[in-house]
Amino acid sequence: VFSIGEFSRITGLTVKTLRFYHEQGLLVPSCVDEGSGYRYYDPSKIETARVIAFLRGLDFPLDEIGRILRDAGDDADLLDVMERRRGEILATIRRQREVVRSLDELLSREKEARRLMANATFEVGETVVSPLRIAGVRMRGKYSQCGEGFARIGRRFGRHIAGKPMMLHHEAEYRDEDADYEACMPVRAGEAADGITVRELPGGRCVTLMHKGPYDDMGRSYAKILGYIRQKGYEVVLPTREVYLKGPGMIFRGNPRNYLTEIQMLVRDEGSQAVLKG
């Protein structure tokens, strides 16, 4: 026979655990000294201990293990129990996998944002943009209310969304109140519905400037890009665009000082219908 300490070393179960299993009636010592209360286990208990450890490894609760041990005689439904457990484990694996997938998305978005941040130049530049299919909600009021528009598009288009949120400014001037703007997002597919229009934004020659920092600080960046356009003698084609490369996110709320917004202004080199003369 073994003392509890020896038995613990043999089975790999802690002394505390063995006492607990005794208390629960799961693994009762072969004899208990009346005077000292010492527990003694004989070798036949080793297998029971192993079975319990194995089933605990399958995350069976102790009371179920007790039941299994008790009617080990008819193993008829033991097969069922095991197969049910197997199914449950597979189900949790599937859930975990889903979780990992959503984490991966989160992480890749965040890393992309950091990459952008690292490579961004904060000087005015010129480029050519391609036509872009978007879903948009035309809004009137304060810019700060645009969130509602994005939310509506998000709910409606879900996983058809194919790029960063943008805002279109349909007026040349900046207004604090009663502005005419459009919250929109690039989409792969989906149809117009309740106030959301789907259409193609034209491509073309484009002057860009990256703005880093909070949104109410964009005046300086606008002054800078407009100065450049005036100097070059370009004409701005409305609407102008803001692309929100990194803003307050779901988890990584981030610091407004790290927000990253690209201002895009399509331009014509010359022409008569200039809306805003450079």
Interface with DNA includes 50 (CB under 7 A)? no
**Measured from the CB atom, is 18 or 135 closer to DNA?**
18
Q: Which of 1, 12, 38, 88 binds DNA (CB under 7 A)?
A: 38
**Binding-site member from 37, 79, 121, 128 for a second copy (CB under 8 A):** 79
Nearer Cβ to DNA (37/73): 37
Regarding 11 and contact with DNA (CB under 7 A), the answer is no
Cβ contacts of residue 20 below 8 Å, gap of 6+? Answer: none
- Does a cis peptide bond (omega within 30 degrees of 0) precede residue 165? no
Instruction: State which of residues 10, 15, 28, 106 lies at the interface with a second copy (CB under 8 A).
Output: 106
| Cross-sheet strand order for the sheet of 39-41 | 2-3, 39-41, 31-32
* Residues between 52 and 71 that touch a second copy (CB under 8 A): 54-55, 57-58, 68
CB of 32 to DNA, least distance (A): 7
**215 scored as a contact of DNA (CB under 7 A):** no
Judged by CB under 7 A, does residue 81 bind DNA?
Answer: no
Rounded to the nearest 5 degrees, what angle is found at the Cα of 106, between the Cα atoms of 104 and 107?
65
54 versus 174: smaller Cβ distance to DNA: 54
Q: Is there binding between residue 32 and a second copy (CB under 8 A)?
A: no
Stretch that binds DNA, among 30-38, 158-166, 184-192, 266-274 (CB under 7 A): 30-38
Task: Write 214-219 long-range contacts (CB < 8 A, 24+).
Answer: 214/256, 214/257, 214/259, 215/143, 215/256, 215/259, 215/261, 218/242, 218/261, 218/263, 219/174
Among residues 137, 190, 192, the alpha carbon closest in space to that of 162 is found at 190
Tell me: does residue 88 bind DNA (CB under 7 A): no
Compare residues 9 and 84 and give the one whose CB is closer to a second copy. 84
Give residues 232-251 in contact with a second copy (rule: CB under 8 A).
Answer: 250-251
Question: Where does this chain bind a second copy (CB under 8 A)?
Answer: 47, 50-51, 54-55, 57-58, 68, 72-75, 78-79, 82-83, 85-86, 89-90, 92-93, 96-97, 99-100, 103-104, 106-107, 110-111, 250-255
Question: Where does this chain bind DNA (CB under 7 A)?
Answer: 3-6, 8, 14-17, 19-21, 36-39, 56, 61-63
